Every structure is written in C-alpha cells, then in structure tokens.
C-alpha cells in the first residue's frame, strides 16, 4: 500500500473523508470470536477502513445489505486449478460467484508437463483476476522416480522462483519417503525454501507415529490427505493444520468432522484439491464444504472461520480472512447461516459477482510455451496386449468416492499364447502411454470396480506425470482413444465399437482449455453422461477424475505408471501376476 492510500484509509476510518463504498445494515460474521454484530462497513481503496460513527460523511457509493450477513471471502487452502480443466481466468469465473476470493494453488500438474514454463504461465495467467491466486512451487516434479514426466524441477529451479511474493511455500511434498529418510536432494529443496522463510505443504497419506514426527519436523505445516478422524487428530496434536477436502473424487469432509471441536477447530481448514467443473456448477466450491459441515452438525460460525481466518493464518496472509479495519475488502453476502447461499461477492471492495453473475472482465493469457505437449512414439494396438504367466493377477481395485485403491487378486483367463482375455464384468484393462520424452513406454495392468463395458476412455490427464491413461475392454477402442488424444494434442476421449463417441481438446499442456467455464462444464457433463450410459460407468465412480488418479504412485495401495504396475506400500514396481 502506498503512503497516499494509507493516509486516505486512516482519514476514512476517522470520518474525515468519504469512503469509496459503505455497506450498511450488515450482520458481520466476526471470525475472531465467532460472534455476529450489526454495523456499517466503510471501504477505501479496496481495504476496510472501519465501521463508522456518528456524522460520518456519506460514502461515494452506498449498498444496503438490509440485514444480510457479511463474511470474509472464502479461501481454498489447497487446489490444483488444472484439475478444473479450465484456464485460470475461466476458473475465476466459475468459483468467485460461489464466494471463493482466494486460492492457494499448486501447479504441479502443468509443471510436470512443462517445467518452469508451466509455472510462469500459471503466474502470468492468474494475475489481475477477480480471484486472488497464490502459488506453491511444486516440490515433486516428477512425483517419484518410478515414472516419466515432462520435466524435472530441483533445488536450482526452486531458487530461481521461490522469492516471488506470490509463491508462499513449496507445494505438497508427496515424496514423504525422501523427506523422512533425509535424502540429500530433498533436503536441498527444503533448505532453499527455508532460506527464504518458507515451509512446505504436506501430503502424508497414512503416515503416523515417529514417521509423521519426522515429516513434521522437516517442515510440513499442513496435510490434506487425512481420510479418518484419527489421522486428523494425530496431526493436530502435533501442530499440523488439517484440511477437510471435498473434491470430485475425494470427499472427506463428513468423515473428518468428528475430529473438529471447540478446542482445535482453529487448526482446521477447507480445500477442494481436485474438483471438476460440473461438480462446481452443481454443488459449489468452498461454499459446498461449508454447507456440508453445517448440515452435519458443525457450528456455522466455526465452519466460516475454517473457510477464512484459519487458512489465512496458516499461510501468513495477514491482509485477508477477516472483516476488520486495515484488511482487504474481500467480502461475501448471504441471507441464511445454514443454507449459506452466496448472493454477492466483493474483492478489494469491487463487486465482482451479483446473484451468481460474474462481473469481472479478465484477461486470458495465450499458452504460447505450454501447448502441443504430445510426444508419443512406437505406440500401436499390439503394445496393449497383456501377457500373463499365471491365471491369477493383481488388480487395482477402486474405492468409491476415493483415490485410495486396494491391491486385490482376481482369477483371469488367458488365450493359448498367454494373453489376457476378459472374463469378468468387474475387471478391465488399464494402460499408461508415455507422452513426454518419446520413450515408447506403455505400462499395463488390470483395474477392478471401474464398471466399464464395451469401449474405452482415455485422458492426457493422469496425476501427476500426466502421461496418457486409458481403460477399456477392447484393445481396438483403447488404441483409437489414445490416437485421438495424440492428434488433438491432449484432452479426453470416449470410444465404443471402433467409433469416437465424444472428445474434448485440451490445448493448454493437454490439461486445460480456454473454453468458457459453463460451456466446458456442460461438455464434460455430457461426456460423463455418455460414459455412464454407453460404457456403464457406475454413479459411485467419476469416469474421468477417478481414472486420472490411477496413475498416482504416492497414494496407496496399487497404481500404474508408464513403467508398469506400482505397489505404493512397497514403493516399487511389481508384476501383474499375483504369484510372481
């Protein structure tokens, strides 16, 4: 803030000069002490000056809240914008009307494809939006050495960008094995961050006891991977912030609520992590987390505090997260504490959403260095043939509404040459095709519980290295789907009976597109309906979000990479055969 603005703010607070905006007759949610008070709010140059007094000069603009509630803008404590399939500008258009005014974004998806070019694109493309976007420097590119990604970001690369004031910390450290074993390359990354006074986000799925202690001691300040109340309580006890996540595939808010109480809620936040546009349109963003928590018994004032102040405190964002003098005028208006339907949104004192209508005009940045990222070599239908040396095979078993999988065993059929033949409606083939370095790698396995019948689904979105992932019961359809993505430069494809039923191009790194937000949400919704109707994907499984996480080799128990089937509990590749 410049001196002239500070002077104006002080004079506005004291009633010496008119405010730019006065929101009168408001019921303010005070997240400091979880109370509600009726007042006027005076705003100067995008900041809250104060609450006014007698004989204050009339503001240049006056809005009458008519007794509605005013709360701080909501903060998503951990999100991958790329998972919305949208450019940052269109992501802003989608989430701001739901009351989200700040997000902490980890762009490790695009950085796994494009390296520093991806980081620079996300920084530039998220400037000057109605949505405030802070960035985490991706800590694990690639996520593990057991897959091929499009880039490698080490300590040198971190040092080149970490001092940017919009980069708050290192992103989720999925390589908890490296952290807890004090690996040299990991320590170099952490020390670079510490040099600039920054820590790192946690990703400690299933960690507990002394291993969790080591992870926290290294600097992990939060975790969004808790799936049980017990996990959450252990982390809070040891000084970690815990995020209650409600994404599209991962829905943990209700499971974790029993861990939240009057004594520890100040250590709890909300996040979405990975959320499809159709989910945002239908159910909301962080406002959805808040509604779910309230519906399941949480005090509304605690829920709102978790969605605002707690995230701001965790990340040291001292200028937001509260309705108080000297803080940014990022505000939301709603009528009912329990229904929590956001009606109006201001960012920096400017009305940016009114009754769901987005009012901001954002600049879209051309993806000049992050498009056309498709380098597939030596791929053909023959590469999809799965040879087995046993009639028992390991399967990646899907857990409904989760990205955690089970390591199961199924009895399989083989032809006379030993190649897998489908013999169960519940088991189909899954493959990962390397798309960054032209290695020709094709990892093969079997997946259980996906429900697919009579076709194939392919994506160039496969966390976290984002090779092409495809599942199907027909090698011909799987080949067609993969080739469709190669020709488009990335995206989504559904095939059946040798025909492409639907496709969607993702021109930004094969991960995102600049299509208008609601048009994209409608398109993906249409594709989801096709996947369910034509390929029989059940309602308990998201056909795209679930599939794209089957390539993430840091979430238990069994996953697949371009190098083959991967046992996360053993942290190594394993044969598909169950008795080898």
As a whole number of angstroms, the distance between CA 293 and CA 277 comes to 21
Q: Which pLDDT does position 408 carry in this prediction?
A: 94
In the predicted structure, residue 153 carries a pLDDT above the cut 90: yes
Per the domain annotation, does 363 fall within a domain?
no
Boundaries of domain holding 121: 72-327
Q: CATH code at 8?
A: 2.30.40.10
Same domain, 56 and 104: no
Question: How many angstroms separate the CA atoms of 575 and 389, rounded?
Answer: 10
Q: Do 482 and 528 share a domain, yes or no? A: yes
Taking each helix axis as running N to C, give the angle between helix 88-95 and helix 116-125, from 0 to 180 degrees, rounded to the nearest 10: 50
Residues 48 and 172 in one domain: no
Q: Are residues 112 and 199 in the same domain?
A: yes
End residue of a domain, out of 11, 35, 70: 70
| Segment 445-479, tens digit of pLDDT | 999 999 999 999 999 999 989 999 999 999 999 99
* Confidence bin at 580 (pLDDT 50/70/90): low
The pLDDT of residue 391 is above 90: yes
- Considering 11, 41, 70, which residue would you say is the last residue of a domain? 70
Residue 91 lies in a domain: yes
| Residue 422 within a domain | yes
Query: Is residue 141 predicted with pLDDT exceeding 80?
Result: yes
pLDDT value for 267: 98
User: Are 501 and 517 found together in one domain?
Assistant: yes
214 & 235 share domain: yes
| Pair 46, 77 in one domain | no
d(CA 458, CA 471) in angstroms, rounded, equals: 7
- Whether 338 is in a domain gets the answer no
What pLDDT score does 555 carry?
84
Instruction: Single out the residue in 296, 312, 327 at which a domain terminates.
Output: 327
- CA angle 546/244/158 to nearest 5° reads 80
Strand partners, 429: 446, 472
**Mean pLDDT, residues 188-201:** 96
Contact criterion met (CB below 8 Å) for 268 and 241 = yes
Look at the chain and report how many structural domains it folds into: 3
Is 504 in the same domain as 433?
Answer: yes
353 within some domain: no
CATH number at residue 142: 3.20.20.140
54 shares a domain with 89: no
Euclidean distance between CA atoms 435 and 551, whole angstroms = 14
Same-domain pairing of 117 and 16: no
Q: What is the mean pLDDT of residues 150-165?
A: 96
Question: Nearest Cα to 259, choosing from 276, 241, 285, 278?
Answer: 241
Mean pLDDT, range 393-420, rounded to an integer: 92
Q: Check whether 144 has a pLDDT greater than 90.
A: no
Q: For residue range 230-245, what is the model confidence (pLDDT) as tens digits?
A: 999 999 999 999 999 9
Residue 470, domain member (yes or no): yes
What is the spatial distance between Cα 138 and Cα 136, in angstroms, rounded to a whole number?
6
| Mean pLDDT estimate for the chain | 95
Quick one: which of 186, 268, 287 has its CA closest to 226?
268
Q: What average pLDDT does the segment 405-426 reach? A: 92
- Are residue 185 and residue 312 in the same domain, yes or no? yes
Give the tens place of pLDDT for each residue, 18-63.
Answer: 999 999 999 999 999 999 999 999 999 999 999 999 999 999 999 9
pTM over cut 0.75 = yes
* Mean pLDDT across 140-163: 94
**Are 452 and 323 members of one domain?**
no
Section 535-539 average pLDDT: 94
Q: pLDDT, tens digit, for every residue of 107-124?
A: 999 999 999 999 999 999
Mean pLDDT of the region 240-265: 95
d(CA 54, CA 56): 6
Is residue 226 assigned to a domain? yes
The residue whose two tokens read 């092409």 is 468
The mean pLDDT of 149-165, rounded to a whole number, is 96
Q: Is residue 392 part of a domain?
A: yes
């Amino acid at each position: 803030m410049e001196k002239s603005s500070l002077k104006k703010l002080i004079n506005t607070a004291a009633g010496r000069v008119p405010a730019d905006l006065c929101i009168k007759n408001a019921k303010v949610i005070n997240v400091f002490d979880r109370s509600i008070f009726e007042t006027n709010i005076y705003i100067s140059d995008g900041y809250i000056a104060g609450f006014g007094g007698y004989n204050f000069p009339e503001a240049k603009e006056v809005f009458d809240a008519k007794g509605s509630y005013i709360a701080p803008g909501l903060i998503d404590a951990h999100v991958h914008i790329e998972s919305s399939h949208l450019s940052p500008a269109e992501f802003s258009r989608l989430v701001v009307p739901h009351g989200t005014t700040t997000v902490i974004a980890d762009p490790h998806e695009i950085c796994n494809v494009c390296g520093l070019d991806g980081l620079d694109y996300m920084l530039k493309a998220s400037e000057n939006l109605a949505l405030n976007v802070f960035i985490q420097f991706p800590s694990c590119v690639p996520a593990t050495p057991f897959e091929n990604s499009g880039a490698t970001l080490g300590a040198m690369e971190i040092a080149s960008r970490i001092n940017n004031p919009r980069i708050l910390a290192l992103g989720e450290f999925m390589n908890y094995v490296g952290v807890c074993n004090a690996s040299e390359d990991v320590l170099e990354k952490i020390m670079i961050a510490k040099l600039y006074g920054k820590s790192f986000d946690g990703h400690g799925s299933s960690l507990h006891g002394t291993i969790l202690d080591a992870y926290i001691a290294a600097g992990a300040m939060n975790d969004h991977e808790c799936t049980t109340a017990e996990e959450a309580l252990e982390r809070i006890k040891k000084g970690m912030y815990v995020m209650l996540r409600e994404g599209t595939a991962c829905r943990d808010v209700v499971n974790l609520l029993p861990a939240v109480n009057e004594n520890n809620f100040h250590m709890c936040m909300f996040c979405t992590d990975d959320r499809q546009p159709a989910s945002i349109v239908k159910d909301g963003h962080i406002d959805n987390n808040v509604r779910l928590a309230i519906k399941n018994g949480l005090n509304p004032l605690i829920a709102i505090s978790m969605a605002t102040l707690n995230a701001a405190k965790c990340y040291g964002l001292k200028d937001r997260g509260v309705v108080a003098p000297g803080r940014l005028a990022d505000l939301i208006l709603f009528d009912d504490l329990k229904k929590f339907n956001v009606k109006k949104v201001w960012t920096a004192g400017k009305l940016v959403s009114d009754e769901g209508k987005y009012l901001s005009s954002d600049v879209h940045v051309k993806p000049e260095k992050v498009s056309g990222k498709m380098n597939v070599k030596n791929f053909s239908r023959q590469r999809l043939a799965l040879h087995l040396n046993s009639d028992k095979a390991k399967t990646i078993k899907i857990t409904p509404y989760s990205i955690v999988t089970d390591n199961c065993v199924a009895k399989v059929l083989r032809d006379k040459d030993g190649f897998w033949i489908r013999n169960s409606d519940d088991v189909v083939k899954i493959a990962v095709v390397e798309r960054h370095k032209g290695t020709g790698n094709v990892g093969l396995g079997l997946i259980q519980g996906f429900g697919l019948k009579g076709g194939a689904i392919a994506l160039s979105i496969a966390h976290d290295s984002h090779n092409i992932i495809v599942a199907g019961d027909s090698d011909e359809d799987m080949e067609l789907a993969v080739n469709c993505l190669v020709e488009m430069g990335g995206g989504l494809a559904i095939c059946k009976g040798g025909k492409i039923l639907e496709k969607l191009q993702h021109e930004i790194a094969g991960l995102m597109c600049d299509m208008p937000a609601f048009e994209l949400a409608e398109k993906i919704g249409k594709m989801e309906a096709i996947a369910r109707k034509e390929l029989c994907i059940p309602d308990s499984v998201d056909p795209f979000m679930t599939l794209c996480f089957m390539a993430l080799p840091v979430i238990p128990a069994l996953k697949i990479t371009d190098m083959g089937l991967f046992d996360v509990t053993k942290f190594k590749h394993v044969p598909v055969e169950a008795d080898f």
